[in-house]
Each structure stands twice: as structure tokens, then as C-alpha cells.
Amino acid sequence: MGKAGDPDRSVELLWDGRGGLSLDAIVGAAVEVADAEGLTGLSMRKVAERLGFTTMSLYRHVPGRDHLVDLMRDAVLGDPPSARRRGWRSDLEAFAWHSWELRKLHPWLAEVPGRSVPGPNALAHYEHALSILVDTGLTPAEVVAAVGLVGRLVDAEASALVEAARAERGTGVSDEEWWGARDTLFAHFDRYPTLTRLWETGGYDQPDPFGFGLARVLDGIELLIRQRDEKRDESCQVCGRPVAQPASGRPRSYCSRACQQRAYRSRRST
């Protein structure tokens, strides 16, 4: 879906125009339509019909469908989960699961275009996620990249929900029912021994693909943080340059005598 509307108008609506009962009712009705039919089934006409008003009456509050989607997204996001500070991994995992549960309730969130103006709730979620990793030793670019990676995993899995729901709405048949009726296909599997072996031993019975993917992503971030910690331990505590360690004896904390003296003077002054 393209962003035909004026982004600056979205900013005005998201940040300055909330709170009106009529606007909240419009957004709430639009969310109900999208939950049932996805963004492809959302139209100003359907929202108006759900509210019992004319389509033109909606345009007095919302300039168009694209602006409405921006408002819908911010409305369903609500407040981010409260920070528990149990450690970056536990907090980031809790944030990801919270985001996943939101997308199970509202799968159309994965359909919102990337060039969508964020509102206060969307930015609060992003701020919360960044704050979890900002003091882990990752570089600023790595913090942003890691949060983006987790977000893309959530949206990718939510996109699968969107596709499954769209297919079921179009055919009246669920994914499970559709695959369960493919006996003619399964009859050909014997020519693929690896696939058959995995099929027969439960390889395709994975109950939680999102949890599996999230754990692997967090493993990768944890490894990077550990590498950054190790690198930091090998750097001068004053200037950050590499420290040449002796072959034996006590490890050095400073790259030079000058940095060691600067550290000593700093401790004396405090």
C-alpha cells in the first residue's frame, strides 16, 4: 500500500489531534475491520458503515485511509511493556514476546508500510527497545541494528499469519485443513529420503517457530556483546587503544606509562 497521503498531516493527527471522541470511534471501528479482514479489506466506506455514518462524514476527521492506518497502528500499540531490568536478554525477550502477542491480536500490523509516520506510542516502543541494549557495550549502530533485527523477525512471523488468514478468508479452508488434504502430494515423498525421514520423525511438528527464531537471534546478539566485552577488557582504560599484554605475569590495564599516570592522577583528584 503506497503512502499517497501527506505525511505531515499524519504527524499532526498522531501528535496533536488525538483525544476527540469521534476520532477515537473512527480508529476503533477501523481496527475492528482490519482485525477481521486485514488491511486489504479496510476502506473508509466499511468503517463508516460500521459506525452508521456516511463515508464523507469520516473525512471531516481523517483526510484519508493512509492517515487512518497511521492512527490505527499507534492506537493498538499502546504503552510499551514496563522495564524490569532483569538483564538485557530477559528484557529484550519480553519486549519481543509482547510485540508478537500484539501482532497475533492485530496481524495487519505486519502490513503497515515501512514509510509510515510513527506516533507517540510507536516511538515509545522503539525507545524502550533501544534502552535495553544501549549500555551493553554494543556500538550505537549495533544497538540500532540489533533492535531492528528483532523487529524484523516479529514482522516476518506476523506476515506468515497475515498470509494464512488471507488464504483462509478467500477459501474458507485453514492451513491445517489444506495441508491435511494433500495426500496425493505426500505419496511422492518417498523419492526424497531426507525429507521423508524428517517428516516421519517429527521434524515438521515444531510447535513454536517464533520462539525458536527469537532464541537464535538473541544467541547471536549475546555472542556479539560477549565479544565486545572481551575487546573492551583488552583496551586501555584511559584512551581505549589496544594494550600489548606481556607473555607472563600480571595483565596490563594501560597502553603506556603516560596513561597509567593519567589514571592515577584522576583517582587522586576524586
Domain boundaries along the sequence of the chain: 7-77, 237-269
Half-sphere exposure (Cβ direction) of 235: Cα atoms closer than 13 Å: 12
**Which range, of 39-53, 56-70, 75-89, averages the lowest pLDDT?**
75-89
Answer yes or no: is pLDDT of 31 > 70: yes
Q: In this structure, which CATH number among 3.30.1360.30, 1.10.10.60, 1.10.3720.10, 3.40.640.10 belongs to the domain 7-77?
A: 1.10.10.60
pLDDT tens track for 151-185: 999 999 998 888 887 788 778 888 888 888 888 98
Average pLDDT over residues 65-78: 93
d(CA 224, CA 240): 19
Nearest to 106 by CA among 156, 72, 143: 72
User: What is the rounded distance in angstroms from the CA atom of residue 146 to the CA atom of residue 18?
Assistant: 32
Q: Which of the given ranges, 17-21, 137-141, 237-241, 248-252, has the highest pLDDT on average?
A: 137-141
pLDDT in tens, 211-245: 999 999 999 999 999 988 776 656 677 787 777 76
Tell whether the model's pLDDT for residue 1 goes beyond 60.
Answer: no
Q: Which of 79, 80, 96 is nearest to 88 (CA)?
A: 96
| Cβ-contact 14, 70 below 8 angstroms | yes
> For residue 237, what is the DSSP state?
T
The SS3 of residue 93 is: helix
